[in-house]
Structure 1
Amino acid sequence: MRSPNPSLEVCVLSRTRATDGVDRRSLRRAAAVATSLSALIATSIVAGPATASDAALSCALGRTDAHHSEGVDGWNGSYTRPDRPLDAVMIYLAFPDSPPVTVPQVLARDYFPATSAFFERASYGKFRLRPHVHRSWVKMPRTSVAYGIQRDWDAGRRAAYLRDAVDAADPVVDFSRYDMVYFVADPDAPGVDSDATKVVNLSQPMYADDRELRRFVTVFEQSPPDRNVLAHETGHVFDLPDLYHRPQNGKGDWDTYVGDWDLMGSQFGLAPDPFAWHKWKLGWIADNQVDCADVVTRSTMHSLRQLSAPREPRSQRRPRLLVVRTGPDSALAIEARAAGGNDRALCSDGVLVYRVRSETPSGSGPVRVLDGHPATGACWGTSVYPPLADAPLGVGESMDVHQDGVRVRVQVTGRSSDGDWAVKIGRGGGP
């Protein structure tokens, strides 16, 4: 077994559980990441080959070398693509300084079946995450405090933790049976810090049961854990980026880029369903559900099925994503959001507009939601960022967007009896 050289994935949002009436923004500030992580993150990418994807449309951005690039014309082969059922093993780790007070099967209810159900809804049933909870505690050789577990974790101690976890689990777990590995620390152990929950990449893999192990989800949550935290971390396993804003020196608001929209922006968001762009990237939305608009020659009319609508038969598919290409590595994405499915707690429905840049790395704003109502906010006290909670456009409303020298006007002209939104795309005004 080789010694691991783990590198940190951009990931977690607030590790402090939100409670009713608590300002989520203050929770996020309390969970600020030290800016010294930036240099580490920049070297954390494990390069992998690109494989062809189904995205062959003219508006499909090319995948770049950016960490978790938003390009959709190819797939990074070093990541698992969730376009088939995947098996994940959940291994619970106990420490000599804290005898467990319950059993793994009980603790696993914090995560499953909720996480599997989230992905089944998000993928329209195309992806199934099948959890396999190891039924007994795996005993670590050192105390929980010996590993120095914390958000900005010492690389040597983190490597020792992973090496010990794999060595301890190997005699009782057949790693060759699983596509993903969750290592979950005993939430009652004194050295466990919930801020340390992360995805860890290895620049050099470990091996067990003839399986190459490059990526682990390391969980250090309390019980119950932060809402949707495991789904967020699992998103990184599928090459999805962090969409939140990391304020300088940890001071400022974390949610200015996308607000409540998309799980990769906030695990506490009111509308955590992945953006249609991400569903396209992952293969949950096909090319025939994406409409490309060209504003150079003429205005065009388009119909958008709301993102949370049930899956249709192949012959009856309707567009769920409208894309205007604005540059070699940039696009304007447009989708319809309404209460239902993963978005059942959504604050405001309507047509959501956002920018996508495939050369912008995870954590630096590869996606930014555009505010359709910049003078107002909504859902104060429950939204993670009220100024963007009412971002979608309603019927009769419009938005002019200037991006990379391209001017686009998005107008919502109506809504059909079955809930589809009518959108007109044309050349925008202004300077």
Structure 2
Amino acid sequence: MSRIPRPEVDLPRPQPLGGVDKRRLRAAAAALTALTALAATGLVAGPAAAAAPYAGPCALERTAAHHSEGLDSWHSGYPRPTKPLNAVMVFLSFPDWEPTTTPEELTADYFPATSRFFERASYGKFRLVPHPQREWIEMPHDSTSYAIKRDWNAAHRSAYLRDALKVADAHTDFSKYDVVYFVADPEAPGVDSDATKVVNFDRPMRADGTDIRRIVTVFEQHPPDRNVLAHETGHVFDLPDLYHRPADGEGDWDTYVGDWDVMGSQFGLAPDFFGWHKWKLGWLEPRQVACVTRAGDTRLTLEPLSTARRSAGAPFGAGGGTKLAVVRTGPSSAIALEARGGGGNDDATCTQGVLAYRVRNDSSSGGGPVQVIDSHPFTEACYGDSVYPPLADAPIQAGESFTVPGEKVRVEVEDRTASGAWTVKVTTG
């Protein structure tokens, strides 16, 4: 299976449902050159950020960067995953191929696994509810006519989405759904699994009286890459790509975060979301985030990020302990600390300890908004299983200390409690 991630794309709005307006098609084509410059900033036009749900000096401010890691506010153009959200799965076939799989089989490739991933990651605060359609809907043109591939020509992609929305609208009430998945027949001759990604529109599509701001286009093989739908759905919730695309397209993509967040790699051994992302999405309570502001020594106890506690009336609870510690290091940057254990979504991890990473609010998706700091820069671990062994042993172990390069921040893991939490001393200044 391919380990190469797929970035999002931003496109002008495809032709609205109904007839094809040639003047609009010409205008959209003329806009493609300008669109290239706009793609790095995400949605060209969109709702303003909502009122700030976060507070404190360690909450980096939102910037214009695409999927900014600033979390002092929530971008209201994205659904917020703090309640059940409904996702429709539309299955698209093509005239040049008779499907050999069924919608039920393809649904089972992704659910309930993806819903369970989010339920564990959110400590039960968020539930992704799938609504798979039962029949194939045939596209008007052969699969090969859309020239589907990884770095897809924008005109061909727009044509695909325009046709898909048109044929799906007769079968789908889009007003009922928060998330839209267009799942193509994986065995059709023109389908390329590397083309799976989220497509953002500079202006939303309108269907059934509702705005459609982004669509997840799924072209995965059967069975698909592990956790691929969790990764793509993360974009729907304003999370960035955390991998690093080499300038020539060759080389290692996982040098920024390795295994440590599904937004870096769907193949990671420890793919649970970073604590920073859980804070951003509203899954951590303010009391679970320790903001280190004073110079000198600060001692705290970090519960493993994946540890959940069952409680009355809910399947999971994050517990009352601290999950994330943050040291603000500048107007646009912070150092985050969290304990990574071997439970929940991280049950395949081969190392444990306190993970340190740098967060920047002014780096766009794919540009290194999060970078894991390697506390063992001369060794590696989990060779053959890890997506990037040099970062597989990045966590700081009990009895070890580490100074963050370029910062006056020193982290010492003093001990581990009987419950599995880590006691940590952070020294700043």
Q: Identify whether the pair has TM-score above 0.5, normalized to the shorter chain.
A: yes
Q: Does 1:160 align with 2:165?
A: no
Provide Cα deviations, 1:32-78, integer angstroms capped at 9, x if missing partner: 999x9974632542433111243112211111111100011101111
For 1:326, the equivalent position in structure 2 comes to 329
Tell me, in whole angstroms, the C-alpha distance in 1 between the residues paired with 2:7 and 2:206: 34
- Preserved contact between residue 307 and residue 336 of structure 1 (Cα < 8 Å): yes
What SS class does the counterpart of residue 376 from structure 2 fall into?
Answer: coil
Provide Cα deviations, 1:179-230, integer angstroms capped at 9, x if missing partner: 1110000011000001110100111222111111111000001100111111
For 2:14, the equivalent position in structure 1 comes to none
Q: Does 1:230 align with 2:233?
A: no
Q: Return 5+ residue gaps in structure 1 as ranges.
A: 1-15, 18-26
Which amino acid in 2 is paired with 1:350? G
Pairing of 1:136-285 with structure 2 (within 5 A): 136-285=135-284
- Choose the corresponding residue for 1:309, options 303, 307, 310: 307
For 1:106, the equivalent position in structure 2 comes to 105
Which amino acid in 1 is paired with 2:54? A
For 1:398, the equivalent position in structure 2 comes to 401
Task: Report deviation, 1:402.
Answer: 4.2
For 1:13, the equivalent position in structure 2 comes to none
For 1:348, the equivalent position in structure 2 comes to 351
Tell me, in whole angstroms, the C-alpha distance in 1 between the residues paired with 2:425 and 2:36: 41
For 2:26, the equivalent position in structure 1 comes to none
Task: Report deviation, 1:122.
Answer: 0.3
Tell me, in whole angstroms, the C-alpha distance in 1 between the residues paired with 2:245 and 2:318: 43
TM-score for the superposition, normalised by structure 1: 0.89
Provide Cα deviations, 1:70-107, integer angstroms capped at 9, x if missing partner: 01110111111111100000000010000112320111
- Preserved contact between residue 295 and residue 425 of structure 1 (Cα < 8 Å): no
For 2:422, the equivalent position in structure 1 comes to 421
Which amino acid in 2 is paired with 1:388? L
Task: Report deviation, 1:294.
Answer: 2.2
Which amino acid in 2 is paired with 1:108? T
- Preserved contact between residue 260 and residue 268 of structure 1 (Cα < 8 Å): yes
For 2:391, the equivalent position in structure 1 comes to 388
Tell me, in whole angstroms, the C-alpha distance in 2 between the residues paired with 1:119 and 1:400: 33
Q: 1:175 and 1:52, CA in 2 relative to 1: closer, same or farther beyond 3 A?
A: same
Task: Report deviation, 1:312.
Answer: 6.6
Tell me, in whole angstroms, the C-alpha distance in 1 between the residues paired with 2:352 and 2:102: 42
Pairing of 1:369-388 with structure 2 (within 5 A): 369-388=372-391
Task: Report deviation, 1:156.
Answer: 1.2
Q: 1:164 and 1:287, CA in 2 relative to 1: closer, same or farther beyond 3 A?
A: same
What SS class does the counterpart of residue 327 from structure 2 fall into?
Answer: strand
Provide Cα deviations, 1:138-197, integer angstroms capped at 9, x if missing partner: 110000001111111111111111111111011111111111110000011000001110
What SS class does the counterpart of residue 387 from structure 1 fall into?
Answer: helix
Tell me, in whole angstroms, the C-alpha distance in 2 between the residues paired with 1:294 and 1:77: 30
For 1:3, the equivalent position in structure 2 comes to none
Q: 1:195 and 1:38, CA in 2 relative to 1: closer, same or farther beyond 3 A?
A: farther
Higher RCO (C-alpha 8 Å, min separation 6): 1
Tell me, in whole angstroms, the C-alpha distance in 2 between the residues paired with 1:53 and 1:236: 20
Which amino acid in 1 is paired with 2:307? A
Tell me, in whole angstroms, the C-alpha distance in 1 between the residues paired with 2:377 and 2:272: 23
What SS class does the counterpart of residue 235 from structure 1 fall into?
Answer: helix
Which amino acid in 1 is paired with 2:111? F
What SS class does the counterpart of residue 253 from structure 1 fall into?
Answer: coil
Identity of aligned residues (%): 61
Which amino acid in 1 is paired with 2:370? V
Tell me, in whole angstroms, the C-alpha distance in 1 between the residues paired with 2:291 and 2:118: 26
Tell me, in whole angstroms, the C-alpha distance in 1 between the residues paired with 2:254 and 2:208: 42
Tell me, in whole angstroms, the C-alpha distance in 2 between the residues paired with 1:201 and 1:144: 22
Q: 1:55 and 1:32, CA in 2 relative to 1: closer, same or farther beyond 3 A?
A: closer
For 2:292, the equivalent position in structure 1 comes to 293
What SS class does the counterpart of residue 250 from structure 1 fall into?
Answer: coil
Which amino acid in 2 is paired with 1:302? L
Tell me, in whole angstroms, the C-alpha distance in 1 between the residues paired with 2:208 and 2:67: 29
- Preserved contact between residue 259 and residue 265 of structure 1 (Cα < 8 Å): yes
Tell me, in whole angstroms, the C-alpha distance in 2 between the residues paired with 1:282 and 1:32: 21
Tell me, in whole angstroms, the C-alpha distance in 2 between the residues paired with 1:319 and 1:164: 49
Provide Cα deviations, 1:269-300, integer angstroms capped at 9, x if missing partner: 0000000000000000111100011242x211
- Preserved contact between residue 54 and residue 286 of structure 1 (Cα < 8 Å): no
For 1:135, the equivalent position in structure 2 comes to 134
The alignment of Structure 1 onto Structure 2 pairs a total of residues equal to 399
What SS class does the counterpart of residue 238 from structure 2 fall into?
Answer: coil
